[in-house]
Amino acid sequence: MEIAELGEFGLIKHLTKETETINESTLKGVGDDCAVLSPEAGTQTLVTTDMLMEGVHFDLTYMPLRHLGYKAVMVNLSDIYAMNGTPRQITVSLAISKRFMVEDIEELYSGMRMACKRHNVDIVGGDTTSSMTGLAISITAIGTARAEDIAYRNGAKETDLICVSGNLGAAYMGLQVLEREKAVYNQQVAEATQQARKNGSNVEEAIAQIPQPDFAGKEYLLERQMKPEARKDIIEKLRQANVKITSMIDISDGLSSELMHICEQSRCGCRIYEERIPLDYQTAVTAEEFNMNVSTCALNGGEDYELLFTVPLTANELVSAIEDIKVIGYITKPELGKALISRDGNEFELKAQGWNHMTEE
């Protein structure tokens, strides 16, 4: 169905008709000039927003719309967890070009709803409009936290331990794999088209003969790229273990860049150990295959949506006992600078070469 048949109000009604709100603090969701929320007594409100543009942040030739919706929500929830908060509501603004059908937007929305359900989040509003080219998604997430629990970027202190959840570089390697297979496929299409024209045979049939790419052994990397998970579980485990988080950030632009944010805002230095950076087996193998340094991928790859945080030295035993958290270094005096200790014991100054859309590569 073409979107013009429903119109803007029709589309919003259509997409939000099944939306029942589940948070007590959601007094009014979609359907008025504003959503109305009732903050719990004694909590503060967290707000974060992210914009995803087609052709910059995602490529629909390999990214299914459902995954895209899921990911678009997750990257926002990740920011709420990175403050040690609980996400409660999101608003969703979409700008949609004419090539999308109502069914496409339903797919996108179904992924968003899945992510929301998983994290007990309500979709409370948004805006739907048309775009001259491509798809634009802007999501704002709202969360809550008690004042004493909020983890800012500026609380790291000398001797604090630097911790990381999960493993790093996998989403980046997933992107490399997808981009490679896309290039291979495009090449095959060009060749098949040329050949079919030469033989006077059917071009579409020739293209249909091209085998689908084989992603065996790369499944984990693709999942990390296409379906990231905000680390609610880590936040919960840290709460259960009663660990005081002194600073925290989520890793969206690469470990190196995020650690530099913490050090700059906390006015401190750091030492991290290359050998302690958590890596998945598939990441390591694929980096080798691409002739890339796996540590560089982990340091600068981006889109991990893992948590980077610091805890007092005294919490060493507590955090070390938590599955999927790794201590990778420690905070120093600012004059000692920010450095990576390589496997062979050399010191390298950390640089933020993060996943920056605004600078030329």
Applying the rule CB under 8 A, the residues between 228 and 267 that interact with a second copy are 248-250, 265
CA 360 centroid distance within chain: 21
Single out the residue of 68, 72, 73, 95 in contact with a second copy (rule: CB under 8 A). Answer: 95
Alpha helices, DSSP H only, in 133-231? 170-199, 203-208, 219-226
Is residue 189 packed enough to be buried (19+ CB in 10 Å), middle (13-18) or exposed (0-12)? middle
Contacts of 226 (CB under 8 A, 6+ apart): 63, 64, 67, 71, 174
Per CB under 8 A, contacts with a second copy among 101-130 are 124-130
Nearer to a second copy, 147 or 208 (CB): 147
**Pair of tokens at residue 293:** 């340094």
Cβ(44)–Cβ(148) under 8 Å? no
Q: Does 202 bind a second copy (CB under 8 A)?
A: no
Residue 165 as a binder of a second copy (CB under 8 A): the answer is no
Of 18, 24, 33, 148, the one binding a second copy by CB under 8 A: 33
Residues 314-333 interacting with a second copy (rule: CB under 8 A): none
- One of 57, 71, 224, 338 touching a second copy (CB under 8 A): 57
CB atoms within 10 A of CB 36: 13
360 binds a second copy, rule: CB under 8 A: yes
Structure tokens at 188: 């095959």
Q: Which two tokens stand for residue 337?
A: 């600078």
Q: Note whether 353 binds a second copy by CB under 8 A.
A: no
Cβ closest to a second copy, residue 130 vs residue 202: 130
- Per-residue contact flags (x/-) with a second copy for residues 71 to 90, judged by CB under 8 A: --------xx-xx-x---x-
Confirm or reject binding of residue 310 to a second copy (CB under 8 A): no
Nearer CB in complex with a second copy: 94/222: 94
End-to-end CA distance of the chain: give it in Å, rounded: 40
